[in-house]
């Protein structure tokens, strides 16, 4: 069922599965979402609120913490029963944050990190220490990224959680720093931690598919040098993040979060060309390597994404045909040197 417009998209993203409802029904303590004003945060907060209500847990508060530079977004969440908190995580006193037994850490700095690496390290690696000290007894599910892995061969199936990390560039290194800081909290204070290595979420307003489809629709060439990519429906990604709280442990639970396919960029461009009735132009030659993750463990624990790749492609094409808004923020999945 194609979500025809932003209201319909938000409604779909906020519809919980039976598995999520069951998992959150046993939650202990309130839920704090840090960095809730980003691309995925509002929908995650709504999803959590609805799952808790459906499971009879209206007693659990969901706090959405952000600077809320867009007051309308905060008002919309408040109308849905989410308690919004205006707070600057970099400069504020963490003691002023709400008490909670569960934390989803969504804060991150990526774009611009090549020009200001010190900012990326402050946000991605230093801030987690402040948060871990504020919530030593909570379960913390922290978003990380598949960028902590090196580029791998296109036919490899992707990196698994036990493979050696090999971050390329300041952004990826600072994200590995985030993981190490939360792992330190787990080993020294017993904080229960889940680390979620995500690449790449799709929301129709942004994502790898939006990048490729928009270029094809505009008649622009699609760079295929990085010839493969992983994508996953954002609704599934948010569900996995929330359900990962139940797996958080003092020996950090680490999971790759993406779809089951290794998608060919060239074939995606051709598919969008067929959708739009034009031949897709491409540039470059496939290098033979890409940032790829194997999310088999995730799928074993939480099931396969409920919106498959073929459906996402059809939805993305229809979204653009109907003139629905795009975020204008490219994923830069083609970047190979780690400079964002």
Q: What's the pLDDT at 83?
A: 98
Q: Is pLDDT above 90 for 113?
A: no
Domains of the chain, start order: 6-149+158-201+233-259+293-306 (3.40.50.720)
Q: What's the pLDDT at 115?
A: 87
Q: Is pLDDT above 90 for 131?
A: yes
Rounded mean pLDDT, 327-335: 91
Angle formed by the axes of helices 265-276 and 208-217, to 10°?
A: 50
**196: confidence class by pLDDT, cuts 50, 70, 90:** very high
User: Could you report how far apart the first and last alpha carbons of the chain are, in Å?
Assistant: 35
Q: Is pLDDT above 90 for 328?
A: no
pTM of the predicted model, to two decimals?
A: 0.97
Give pairs for 314-318: CB < 8 Å, separation 24+: 314/2, 314/275, 315/2, 315/3, 315/204, 316/202, 316/204, 316/209, 316/210, 316/213, 316/272, 317/213, 317/272, 317/275, 317/276, 318/2
Q: What's the pLDDT at 205?
A: 97
| pLDDT digits 0-9 by tens, 288-312 | 999 999 999 999 999 999 999 999 9
Please report where in the chains the tokens 């979402």 appear, as a residue: 33
Q: What's the pLDDT at 94?
A: 96
Cα atoms found within 13 Å of the Cα of residue 263, Cβ hemisphere only: 23
| pLDDT digits 0-9 by tens, 200-234 | 999 999 999 999 999 999 999 999 999 999 999 99
Residue 11 CA to its chain's centroid (Å): 18
Q: What's the pLDDT at 35?
A: 97
Q: Is pLDDT above 90 for 18?
A: yes
Q: Is pLDDT above 90 for 174?
A: yes
**329: confidence class by pLDDT, cuts 50, 70, 90:** confident
Q: What's the pLDDT at 112?
A: 78
Cα atoms found within 13 Å of the Cα of residue 122, Cβ hemisphere only: 8
| pLDDT digits 0-9 by tens, 39-89 | 999 999 999 999 999 999 999 999 999 999 999 999 999 999 999 999 999
Rounded mean pLDDT, 100-121: 92
Q: Is pLDDT above 90 for 199?
A: yes
| Mean pLDDT estimate for the chain | 97
Q: What's the pLDDT at 120?
A: 94
Distances (CA, A) of 254 to 161, 257, 262: 7, 10, 21
Q: Is pLDDT above 90 for 114?
A: no
């Amino acid at each position: 069922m194609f979500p025809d417009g932003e209201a319909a998209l938000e409604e779909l993203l906020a519809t919980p599965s039976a598995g999520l409802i069951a998992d959150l029904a046993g939650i202990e303590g309130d839920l704090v979402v840090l960095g809730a004003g980003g691309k995925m945060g509002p929908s995650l907060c709504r999803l959590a609120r609805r799952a808790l209500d459906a499971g009879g847990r209206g007693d659990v508060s969901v706090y959405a913490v952000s600077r809320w530079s867009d007051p309308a977004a905060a008002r919309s969440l408040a109308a849905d029963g989410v308690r919004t908190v205006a707070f600057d995580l970099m400069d504020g006193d963490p003691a002023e944050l709400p008490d909670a037994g569960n934390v989803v850490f969504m804060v991150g700095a990526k774009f611009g990190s090549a020009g200001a690496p010190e900012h990326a390290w402050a946000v991605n690696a230093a801030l987690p220490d402040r948060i871990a000290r504020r919530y030593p007894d909570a379960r913390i599910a922290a978003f990380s990224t598949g960028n902590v892995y090196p580029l791998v061969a296109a036919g490899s199936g992707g990196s698994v959680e036990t493979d050696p990390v090999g971050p390329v560039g300041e952004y990826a290194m600072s994200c590995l720093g985030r993981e190490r800081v939360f792992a330190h909290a787990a080993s020294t204070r017993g904080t229960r931690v889940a680390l979620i290595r995500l690449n790449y979420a799709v929301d129709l307003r942004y994502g790898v598919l939006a990048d490729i489809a928009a270029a094809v629709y505009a008649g622009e060439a699609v760079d295929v040098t990085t010839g493969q990519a992983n994508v996953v429906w954002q609704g599934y990604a948010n569900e996995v993040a929330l359900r990962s709280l139940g797996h958080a442990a003092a020996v950090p639970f680490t999971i790759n979060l993406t779809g089951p396919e290794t998608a060919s960029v060239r074939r995606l461009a051709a598919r969008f060309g067929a959708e739009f009735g034009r031949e897709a132009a491409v540039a470059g030659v496939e290098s033979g390597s890409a940032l790829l993750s194997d999310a088999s463990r995730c799928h074993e624990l939480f099931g396969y994404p409920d919106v498959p790749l073929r459906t996402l492609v059809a939805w993305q094409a229809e979204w653009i045909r109907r003139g629905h808004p795009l975020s204008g923020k490219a994923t830069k999945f083609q970047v190979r040197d780690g400079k964002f």
